[in-house]
């Protein structure tokens, strides 16, 4: 199935070091999260059809930033800080966790979270923490098991089933690959539902 991708025109807006720097809490926001190196930037680039949209914001100081992209005037993607850099101190990690918790609890426009995991290393402590936050705040979470091209189809499907068995009620999962590419239509359909967007328009 091929459809018009409504995320093609997505643009960088700003990088927020603190929650008060975020754009007005109106419209629709979808967050994308993942351990560093899981493949989050590549997934964002594949979704938006940009070669380096997410990479521009990938600087060392970015561990505490939320990067905002605009799909259209009412709809945003919030790229949450990658997690798991060995260099990050315990104090910084705790500070980040506090910010994330407030973001999840207070952000009214937040409609859902895309949680990116390397299909070969899913459900690490950061991932279960994210799923717990989503569930606690009643947010749907869609797990992107990326780098599926690194596995044969059989093992990829069994990884998906294993993850699905561990997910809380409001969460879903799919297989994805930014390089192949694979799973893009499924991701677009999920996002369109959250954004109340009609694909193809
Ligand atoms: P991030 O830190 O989560 O933003 O991760 P990146 O998107 O920068 O990806 C980390 C590494 O994994 C890079 O070397 C990417 O080229 C690679 N990568 C990301 N997605 C895929 C994928 O779908 N397939 C393969 N084979 N490699 C990927």
Ligand 1 nearest atom to the CA of residue 181, by list position: 23
- pLDDT at residue 106 above 60? yes
Q: How confident is residue 63, by pLDDT bands cut at 50, 70 and 90?
A: low
Give the whole-angstrom CA distance, residue 69 versus residue 157.
31
- pLDDT at residue 104 above 50? yes
- Ligand 1 contact, 37 CB (< 6 A): yes
pLDDT of residue 47: 95
For 70-84, write each residue's pLDDT tens digit.
999 999 999 998 776
Mean pLDDT, residues 1-15 taken together = 84
Q: Worst-scoring range by mean pLDDT, 23-37, 81-95, 180-194?
A: 81-95
- Ligand 1 contact, 174 CB (< 6 A): no
Q: Both ends of the chain: CA-CA distance in Å?
A: 15
pLDDT of residue 53: 73
- Ligand 1 contact, 63 CB (< 6 A): no
- Ligand 1 contact, 146 CB (< 6 A): yes
Q: Are 53 and 9 in contact (CB under 8 A)?
A: no
- pLDDT at residue 46 above 70? yes
Centre of ligand 1 from the C-alpha of residue 41, in Å = 7
pLDDT of residue 87: 65
- pLDDT at residue 57 above 60? no
Give the whole-angstrom CA distance, residue 158 versus residue 130.
22
Q: How far is CA 26 from the centre of its chain?
A: 19
DSSP assignment of 103-172 equals HHHH-TTEEEEEEEEETTS-S-HHHHHHHHHHHHTT--EEEEEE-GGGS-HHHHHHHHHHHHHH--TTEE
Classify domain 11-195 at the CATH superfamily level.
P-loop containing nucleotide triphosphate hydrolases (3.40.50.300)
Q: How confident is residue 55, by pLDDT bands cut at 50, 70 and 90?
A: low
Ligand 1 pocket test, pick from 38, 39, 86, 151 with the greatest ligand atom count within 8 Å of Cβ, gives 39
Is the whole model's pTM more than 0.75, yes or no? yes
Give the whole-angstrom CA distance, residue 12 versus residue 56.
9
pLDDT of residue 200: 63
Backbone phi and psi for residue 85, each to the nearest 5 degrees, phi listed first? -65, 130
- pLDDT at residue 92 above 80? no
pLDDT of residue 32: 96
pLDDT of residue 81: 84
Q: 56 by DSSP, 3-state: which?
A: helix
For 144-201, write each residue's pLDDT tens digit.
999 999 999 999 999 999 999 999 999 999 999 999 989 999 999 999 999 999 866 5
pLDDT of residue 1: 47
Average pLDDT of the chain to the nearest whole number: 89
Ranges of each domain in the chain? 11-195
pLDDT of residue 3: 61
Distances (CA, A) of 135 to 31, 58, 142, 155, 169: 14, 28, 12, 28, 8
- Omega before 181 cis (within 30°)? yes
């Amino acid at each position: 199935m091929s459809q018009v991708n409504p995320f093609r025109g997505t643009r960088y807006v700003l990088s927020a070091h603190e929650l008060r720097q975020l754009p007005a809490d109106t419209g629709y926001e979808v967050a994308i999260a993942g351990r560093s190196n899981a493949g989050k930037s590549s997934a964002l680039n594949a979704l938006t059809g940009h070669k380096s949209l997410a990479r521009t914001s990938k600087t060392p100081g970015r561990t505490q930033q939320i990067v905002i992209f605009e799909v259209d005037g009412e709809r945003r993607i919030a790229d949450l800080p990658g997690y798991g850099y060995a260099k990050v101190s315990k104090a910084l990690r705790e500070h980040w966790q506090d910010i994330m918790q407030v973001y999840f609890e207070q952000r009214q426009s937040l409609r859902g979270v895309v949680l990116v995991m390397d299909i070969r290393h899913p459900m690490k402590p950061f991932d279960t923490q994210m799923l717990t936050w989503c569930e606690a705040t009643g947010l749907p979470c869609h797990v992107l098991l990326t780098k599926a091209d690194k596995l044969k189809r059989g093992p990829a499907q069994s990884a998906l089933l294993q993850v699905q068995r561990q997910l809380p009620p409001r969460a879903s999962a799919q297989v994805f690959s930014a390089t192949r590419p694979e799973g893009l239509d499924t991701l677009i359909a999920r996002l369109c539902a959250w954004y109340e967007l009609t694909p193809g328009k």
